[in-house]
Amino acid sequence: MAHRSSFASSESAAPDLVRLPTPADAAEYLIDAAQRAALFLDTLLDRGNAYREHLEQGTPPLLKFEHELVLDGSTLERPCNYALLRVLPPKGLPVRRGLRPLVVVDPRAGHGPGIGGFKNDSEVGVAMRAGHPVYFVTFRPQPVEGQTLFDVLHAEARFLETVIARHPDCGARPVVVGNCQAGWAMMALAASRPELCGPLMIVGAPLSYWAGSSTLNPMRYLGALLGGSWLASLSSDLGADCFDGAHLVDNFEKLHPANALWGRYYKLWSEVDTEAPRFLEFERWWGGFFRMTGAEIEAIVENLFVGNRLARGDVLDGEQRIDLRSITSPVVVFASHGDNITPVPQALNWIVDTWGDERAIAAAGRTIVYVLHERVGHLGIFVGGDVARKEHDQLVSSLDVIESLPPGLYEMRLEAKDGGEVLRWDSLEPGDYTVHYEHRTMQDIVALNPEGRDEEALFSVVAKVSELHAQWYKAWLRPWVRAVATRSVGDALGRLHPLRLQRELLSDASPAAPLIRALAGGARSARRRVAGDNPLLEAERGFDLWMSDALNRYRAQRDALSIAFARQCYSSAGLGRWFQADAPDSLRARDRALRDIEEARALVLARVADGGFAEAVCRIVLAGMASIGAFERRSLRLARLLARLPPEAHGGQAVAVPWGRLLKEQARITAVAPVEALNALHALLPDLASRERALALSAAVMMIEPTLANPRSEIIEFLMDSLGADPDRVIALARTLTRAVEAPGPVARRGRRAAG
């Protein structure tokens, strides 16, 4: 137990741990508590003033960095309230010429923009420290009349075209970071316009909406309780075709009432001398409420939240079907086990529902990498300083490696060099850990959900009931609601929302503000902090624990009732008797994947013996890495250094070998015909000398230990025997190649510079 209450009885606590409060203790505590209360209310007045000031300024993006407008979406042929900003780097952080630009897109989930550049240690800050030119996609509080989700999609495509045109010398497409709701938007854009995007970093983004479990994602049951999407339509109609984002923020707060109603305010009150700046900084973003059009929120809820259509490719932009398989860029997905808004299954199951089989990913030449955090919550993924200094920093610095990975499905893991998992990144230097890319299968992703995927059939029934309710509402109720609802009525309802009222009522406009300011000024000038061992302070902490536990119990009981109702109502014993659940998306994707693999296999077998020395090396490396189960970042960079050795090391080829392209091509072959690809090595390497050179080069590439002490692996051992090579000659040649690369000669120096 973290704190022991002074109210504990002598029977339940040792006498030497209990001290009854004296009159002096009571006086000391009451003075401190009263001063903290005055300072607490004073901070809430500051919050209200910041809220009002932000509204008067037009609710600009809360970026930490200076920025300039590049393109305004309201001027486009399909206008919307989005805009493209260029972030201006601070002095001392120059942009490195030739580095690709990075575009950060913030979520439009009720709040305003700025979370991706909220602090110096943020996605924007990390990218600028690495020398990338950085752009930010922002949006205004009010949507353009009649704008749709696809108007925004086309505006974002124009933004990327503009960024590409501004950086013709970088030779690569921009990196795109999509946070939360912006993640699925960027995935849809990359699927419809794959030529615009470089690597996609999708952070805390819900892409598989039905996924989760009763313990991981209680929010997914909300649509079942409300009967589907019709309530979102009603809310937007009451606002005269304008949906208030405060409703979404309110839903987020209801997920964790212990923090929303008590925890964050108690933390401010109990630590008001130091906590106020952090509280105000966060509340400035959390209290910015933005709106959408009715068409936008309906498309989001019907297609995504309730309909779950994106992963299966059923979302249409006009006549174009958005198929996530069309994304050609590497996709990096960052999720956390501590996130109850976008839990890990909801962030990753789209991979299973879209691709069905990891071999299909490799056969199509695609690369998908996911990164999992153990405990950070949803907002911590974006605003956590430790996360920015660790995971985001590593993702940005590893982009070249991720693009060099052979096609396939990977988990990116960071481990200390002593072999243990990194738990405190802020205590490590870059040389203290290694980055691994471990091969993963669809079963690895499915296993991350403790309750499996059987319950997703229930949400298929919810979607069908939702469609019926939506049709009924639009046919019978909508005309009457729109007849009486005006924009002024909608604005008035918005101002009365509890999240706005609590900020409006506690500001300098309040009649009580002068008194609170005077009391706070007196408290600061005569501040007397209570001693840490005061029994009443211990009692206060005990009450904090009791209140948090009580609210958590309420949440658990509320969620249990919601889940029980949804399961009873939509199961085969309820509405499921009349609405047949669809077949699982994963089965449909699996069937499609098997057909694609067979087609690819037929094509591969016709040319499996094509190529020579370089193709053989790639196949051996791929087989070795599959045997090891992981690629290591150092390995891939070493491979690029080896590619710069003299031609005789590569089998006598006088021209530079395009190792990156060859590795990807051969990965597509080995994915669908692994046995045949290795059996063809005899044809690709017709003589013993070329076989031993290929094995030596592959062994050097596959070494992970910095000392390169043992350049033999299980697959190398097998292939040495299969190809009739001499192990001693292969090992000696592998070490010679490695020494040549690591020697301080001009070739190695050029290679190191090229490898970064």
What letter represents residue 627's amino acid?
Answer: S
pLDDT, residue 401, reads: 81
Rounded Cα distance, 707 and 738, in Å: 10
pLDDT score for 712: 64
pLDDT in tens, 185-195: 999 999 999 99
Strands (DSSP E) along 3-94, which ranges?
Answer: 67-72, 82-87
Query: Sign (positive/negative) of CA torsion 12, 14, 15, 16?
Result: negative
d(CA 293, CA 487): 12
Q: Specify the pLDDT at position 365.
A: 93
Cross-strand bridge partners of residue 134: 87, 102
Reading the block at residue 345, the tokens are: 């299954």
Instruction: State the DSSP string of 479-496.
Output: HHHHHH--HHHHHHHHHT
Nearest-angstrom CA–CA distance, 400 and 398? 6
Does the predicted model carry a pTM greater than 0.85?
Answer: yes
Question: CA-CA distances (angstroms) from residue 618 to 210, 363, 412, 615?
Answer: 40, 16, 22, 5
Alpha carbon separation from 317 to 189, 242, 245, 380, 647 (Å, rounded): 10, 22, 24, 33, 51
Distance between CA 404 and CA 663 in Å, rounded? 8
Name the amino acid, one letter, at 192: S
Q: Which residues of the chain have pLDDT under 50?
A: 1-15, 388, 422-428, 654, 704-709, 744-756
pLDDT in tens, 694-720: 888 888 777 644 444 455 677 778 888
Asked if 225 contacts 565 with a C-beta cutoff of 8 angstroms, the reply is yes
Task: Give the separation between CA 399 and CA 332, rounded to whole angstroms.
Answer: 10
Q: Which helix (H) or strand (E) holds 141?
A: none
| Beta-carbon contacts of residue 144 (< 8 Å; ≥ 6 apart) | 74, 79, 80, 81, 151
Each residue of 276-310: b (16+ CB within 10 Å) or e? Answer: beebbbebbbbbbbbbbbbbbbbbbbbbbbbbbbb
The yes or no reply on domain 67-215+326-446 and CATH 3.40.50.1820 is yes
Say what the pLDDT of residue 422 is.
46
Q: Contact, 155 vs 162, CB < 8 A?
A: no
DSSP bridge partners of 321: 316
Total residue count of the chain as it appears in this document: 756
* Single-letter amino acid, residue 301: V
Q: From the CA atom positions of the chain, what is the Rg in Å?
A: 29
Between CA 566 and CA 584 the distance in angstroms is: 19
Looking at the DSSP bridge assignments, the partners of residue 139 are 82
Give the tokens for residue 24. Answer: 């002096």
Per-residue pLDDT, 707 = 43
**Is the separation of the CB atoms in 694 and 733 below 8 Å?**
no
What is the Cα 587 distance to its own chain's centre?
A: 26
Give CA–CA dist 531/28, Å, rounded.
Answer: 8
Q: Are 266 and 551 in contact (CB under 8 A)?
A: no
> Contact, 411 vs 370, CB < 8 A?
yes
pLDDT of residue 718: 86
Contact call for residues 621 and 698 (beta carbons, < 8 A) = yes
Which of 280, 283, 264, 252 has the alpha carbon at shortest distance from 544? 264
Beta strands in 56-129 (DSSP E): 67-72, 82-87, 102-105
Distance CA 623, CA 670 (A): 8
Q: Are 631 and 742 in contact (CB under 8 A)?
A: no
Whole-angstrom distance, CA of residue 713 vs CA of residue 711: 7
Enumerate residues 6+ apart whose C-beta is below 8 A from 349: 207, 208, 211, 311, 445, 446, 449, 453, 586
Domain ranges of the chain: 67-215+326-446, 607-755
What are the backbone dihedrals phi and psi of residue 203, each rounded to the nearest 5 degrees, phi first?
A: -110, 115
User: For residue 330, what pLDDT is reported?
Assistant: 95
CA 339 vs CA 287, 334, 384, 392, 664: distances in Å = 21, 11, 13, 17, 34
